[in-house]
Amino acid sequence: MSQSNSNKRALVTGASEGIGRAFAQQLASQGYRVTAVARNESRLKGLVAELGGDGHDYFVADLSRDKDVQRTADALQKGAYDLLINNAGFGVKGRFEEIELSELQGMTAVNIDALVALSHAYLKTARPGDALMNVSSFLSFIPVADLNVYCATKAFVTSFSEALWYQQKDRDVFVMALCPGATSTNFDERSGADYDKIPKAMIQTADAVVAYALKHLARRRKPTVISGFLNRFMGGIHRIRTRKGAVKTMSGMDF
């Protein structure tokens, strides 16, 4: 356990599975007291039991619902958290006009509206030294045809976080966007994406993504962190291509 982090408090949304769960585990092993938030109570309970020690807790919240977002915001304002990780999010794949509008709006509610509301509540009472990490995506840089709204929500998250990174520097609050590429979690199954079509070398584990993110959080230098060497390499190539070419290539992978 790192002494510098002992007694620090972190709230992680979407902590019941995947990347959020790995954040909870690695932060706890660094000495943070973790509050885990998601909908699945039995998974949250299991996680807190697994983390062991004192001071970890959870609460159930569906971040597509205003009243649950408000409860989470209240907890953030009362809890004196040193770190907020806005990680909860999901994708929906398909032709835009064929997906139910309510499904798309449920996604923008969690990926954007809840993230903005929780960032706002947190930054209202943040103290010097505190940090906010928003989990965005590599796809925030390149739209993919069948993940159109999802990519746009993540473009919002990266842009929003980078602007806050600059604005919040004068009060010594660090803001960072984490941009993972394909990561082996439940994301692909839930979104309808097919990660079998992505080269295995490009798929990271949640543990690797989180270890890289926490390394950069400790450094507090970069506003935007892309996990995975191949993702950073691909990102570099796409930056020098036309937008048209980048969208065509990514959409053509049909994952």
Ligand X SMILES: NC(=O)c1ccc[n+]([C@@H]2O[C@H](COP(=O)([O-])OP(=O)(O)OC[C@H]3O[C@@H](n4cnc5c(N)ncnc54)[C@H](OP(=O)(O)O)[C@@H]3O)[C@@H](O)[C@H]2O)c1
Interface with ligand X (CB under 6 A):
14-20, 38-40, 43, 61-64, 87-90, 110, 135, 137, 180, 182-183, 185-187, 190
Q: Give residues with Cβ within 8 angstroms of 18, minimum separation 6.
A: 183, 185, 186, 187, 206
110 or 149: CB nearest ligand X? 110
**Minimum distance, C-beta of residue 138 to ligand X, in the bound complex (Å):** 6
Closest by CA position to 58, among listed 73, 42, 70, 69: 42
Task: Tell me if residue 253 falls in helix, strand or coil.
Answer: coil
Question: Which amino acid is it at 225?
Answer: V
**Minimum distance, C-beta of residue 253 to ligand X, in the bound complex (Å):** 13
**Minimum distance, C-beta of residue 170 to ligand X, in the bound complex (Å):** 28
**Minimum distance, C-beta of residue 3 to ligand X, in the bound complex (Å):** 29
Q: What distance in Å separates the CA atoms of residue 73 and residue 75, rounded to the nearest whole number?
A: 5
Q: What distance in Å separates the CA atoms of residue 112 and residue 126, rounded to the nearest whole number?
A: 20
Active-site residues, by number, are: 150
2 or 105: CB nearest ligand X? 105
**Residue with smallest beta-carbon separation from ligand X:** 18
8 or 21: CB nearest ligand X? 21
Distances from the Cα of 130 to the Cαs of 43, 83, 85, 144, 152, in angstroms? 28, 6, 11, 34, 28
**Minimum distance, C-beta of residue 45 to ligand X, in the bound complex (Å):** 11
170 or 196: CB nearest ligand X? 196
Q: What distance in Å separates the CA atoms of residue 84 and residue 15, rounded to the nearest whole number?
A: 12
7 or 142: CB nearest ligand X? 142
Phi, psi of 169 (to 5 degrees): -60, -35
